[in-house]
């Protein structure tokens, strides 16, 4: 598959996977985990057991073992609950434990913890066989779906609930030998909606989101959502707003990147109000490039300046905002729009991603023009 190869993607059987976590990031995570394990076991008078859960954690166990500076015994056990890309929810012991754990402290070494079903069953198995203490060490964790009561003592990297392969993880037993980790490519689309004040972006965006199963990202709404949710970036933004300062680009960009990673049950994203500058457009390209993605298309709703004036005045009258209806105010808004937007138009025209839509006429007429374009993607 040429397109997959060009973007660093890999093909396994019937599915395509794109780069997700590079090997150097994996190594750093293992370094952190090993440091924590060493701190807890450095004064051990006994010999703890490192229990490798086959086959997925072979590579992780090997790398972790090289970094441990205390004496330990290595055992293995093989269990399975996956078929294809879905967990069956039932754990089977495929290959018994390679030694006795009676009276010993055990560190379970897992490649990934998602629902936690395997951890629950494995802890029961170890308790039945007389382990004196059980700790859990995992390279990867899907915190959104792990709801079990068993604490995870050592966690390398927290990831969204996506299907991944590489560094020991497989898709129907292949893909384990990649040193990087790849995520299932869902062919996500990334659209940018342009248009001057009064072009009807809000009205058309709602219809686009519903018809094409998109996540609408408006920077204003996103800021408010992050603040309400109390995220780290939201708290940074709130502190700046409370101090009367503008929220810097890097904070907004971080929120957008988080949204790209967090929202997975859609076919794509519709960006409204971002980017507004060439610098922001370049930052967006970098965010997407990290996931081996790119902007799908820029849809620009175009109406003449005189229509902008008419629509802004009409909206200001309906909303009772007399100041917004002043000719000077409207002229400044149009001037600002042209100054900020025209460089972006040239930027996206250069990559062949810019598409203009005639925004004049009835709402349904404009919507039909948008749908005709969107259907091509």
Q: Where are the alpha helices (DSSP H) in 164-248?
A: 201-212, 219-229, 232-242
Residue 90 banded pLDDT, cuts 50, 70, 90: low
More confident residue, 186 or 331: 331
**Residue 72 in this model has a pLDDT that exceeds 60:** yes
pTM of this structure: 0.58
Would you call 201 a catalytic residue per the annotation? yes
Structure tokens belonging to residue 40: 């807890």
DSSP 8-state secondary structure symbol assigned to residue 100: -
Clarify whether residues 166 and 226 are in a common domain: no
Q: Which of 7, 9, 15, 333 is catalytic?
A: 333
Identify the pLDDT of residue 7: 63
Does one domain contain both 169 and 194? no
Q: What is the rounded distance in angstroms from the CA atom of residue 296 to the CA atom of residue 377?
A: 8
> Catalytic residue at 367?
no
Closest CA to 138 of 33, 59, 35: 33
C-alpha span between 360 and 254 (Å, rounded): 35
User: Which long-range CB contacts under 8 A does 363-372 form with residues at least 24 apart?
Assistant: 363/200, 363/203, 363/204, 366/200, 366/204, 366/301, 367/204, 367/207, 370/204, 370/207, 370/208, 370/299, 371/211
Omega before 275 cis (within 30°)?
yes
Q: Are residues 370 and 329 in the same domain?
A: yes
Confidence of residue 5 (pLDDT cuts 50, 70, 90): very low
Q: Write down the residue that tokens 């976590």 correspond to.
A: 21
Quick: pLDDT tens for 178-191: 999 999 887 889 99
Residue 333: active-site member: yes
User: Exposure of 46 by Cβ count < 10 A (0-12 exposed, 13-18 middle, 19+ buried)?
Assistant: middle
The pLDDT tens digits for 335-367 are 888 887 788 999 999 999 999 999 999 999 999
pLDDT value at 248 more than 90:
no
C-beta separation of 141 from 169 below 8 A: no
Strand spans (E) along 57-167: 73-83, 86-95, 105-113, 133-141, 154-158, 164-165
Residue of 104, 135, 201, 367 marked catalytic: 201
Does 289 have pLDDT greater than 60? yes
Q: Which of 321, 335, 340, 349 is catalytic?
A: 321
Comparing 47-51, 242-246, 287-291, 299-303, which segment has the lowest mean pLDDT? 242-246
75 with 193, same domain: the answer is: no
85 pLDDT band, cuts 50/70/90, is: very low
Structural domain tally of the chain? 2
Give yes or no: 276 in active site.
Answer: yes
Per-residue pLDDT, 89 = 53
Which of 184, 216, 236 represents a domain boundary (last residue)? 184
- pLDDT-wise least confident of 3-17, 70-84, 101-115: 3-17
Which 8-state DSSP code applies to residue 360?
A: -
In the 3-class helix/strand/coil scheme, how is 34-75 assigned residue by residue? HHHHHHHHCCCCCCCEEEEEECCCHHHHHHHHHHCCCCCEEE
Cα separation, 32 vs 137, whole angstroms? 12
Active-site residue, from 67, 224, 315, 353: 315
Say which of 176, 276, 292, 313 is annotated catalytic. Answer: 276
Does residue 137 contact residue 109 with C-beta atoms inside 8 Å? yes
Q: Are residues 140 and 228 in the same domain?
A: no
Judge residue 164's burial from the number of C-beta atoms within 10 Å of its C-beta, 0-12 exposed, 13-18 middle, 19 or more buried. Answer: buried
Q: What is the pLDDT of residue 2?
A: 37
String of b and e for 117-137 (b: at least 16 CB within 10 Å)? bbbebbbebbeeeebeebbbb
Could you tell me the residue range of the domain that residue 227 belongs to? 189-374
Based on the fold, state whether residues 240 and 332 are members of the same structural domain: yes
- CATH number reported for the structural domain that contains residue 253 in this entry: 3.40.50.300
Contact 109, 60 (CB under 8 A): yes
Angle 151-64-19 (CA atoms, 0-180°, nearest 5)? 85
92 in active site: no
Same domain, yes or no, for 168 and 267? no
The whole-number pLDDT of residue 281 equals 94
Same domain, 176 and 229: no
Are residues 19 and 157 part of one domain? Answer: yes
């Amino acid at each position: 598959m040429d397109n997959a190869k060009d973007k660093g993607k890999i093909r396994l059987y019937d599915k395509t996977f794109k780069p997700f976590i590079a090997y150097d990031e994996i190594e750093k995570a293992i370094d952190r985990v090993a440091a924590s394990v060493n701190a807890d076991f450095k004064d051990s008078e006994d010999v703890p057991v490192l229990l490798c859960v086959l086959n997925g954690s072979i590579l992780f166990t090997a790398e972790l073992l090289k970094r441990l500076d205390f004496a330990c015994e290595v055992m293995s056990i093989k269990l399975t609950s996956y078929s294809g890309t879905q967990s069956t929810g039932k754990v089977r012991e495929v290959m018994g434990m390679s030694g006795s754990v009676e009276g010993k402290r055990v560190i379970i070494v897992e490649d990934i913890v998602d629902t936690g079903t395997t951890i629950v069953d494995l802890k029961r198995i170890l308790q039945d066989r007389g382990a004196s203490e059980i700790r859990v060490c995992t390279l990867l964790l899907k915190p959104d779906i792990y709801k079990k009561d068993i604490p995870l003592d050592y966690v390398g990297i927290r990831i969204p609930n996506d299907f991944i392969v590489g560094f020991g993880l497989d898709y129907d037993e292949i893909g384990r030998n990649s040193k990087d980790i790849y995520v299932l490519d869902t062919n996500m689309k990334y659209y940018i909606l342009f248009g001057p004040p009064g072009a009807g972006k809000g009205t058309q965006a709602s219809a686009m989101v519903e018809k094409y199963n998109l996540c609408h990202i408006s920077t204003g709404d996103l800021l408010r959502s992050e603040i309400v949710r109390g995220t780290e970036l939201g708290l940074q933004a709130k502190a700046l707003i409370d101090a009367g300062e503008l929220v810097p680009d890097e904070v907004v960009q971080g929120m957008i990147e988080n949204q790209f990673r967090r929202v997975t049950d859609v076919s794509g994203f519709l960006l409204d109000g971002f980017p507004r500058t060439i610098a922001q457009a370049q930052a967006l390209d970098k965010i997407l490039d990290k996931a081996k993605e790119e902007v799908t298309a820029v849809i620009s709703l175009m109406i003449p300046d005189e229509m902008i004036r008419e629509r802004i005045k009409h909206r200001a009258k309906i909303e009772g905002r007399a100041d917004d209806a002043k000719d000077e105010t409207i002229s400044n808004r149009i001037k600002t729009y042209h100054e900020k937007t025209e460089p972006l138009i040239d930027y996206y025209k250069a990559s062949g991603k810019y598409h203009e839509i005639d925004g004049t006429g009835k709402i349904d007429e404009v919507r039909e023009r948008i749908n005709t374009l969107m259907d091509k993607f």
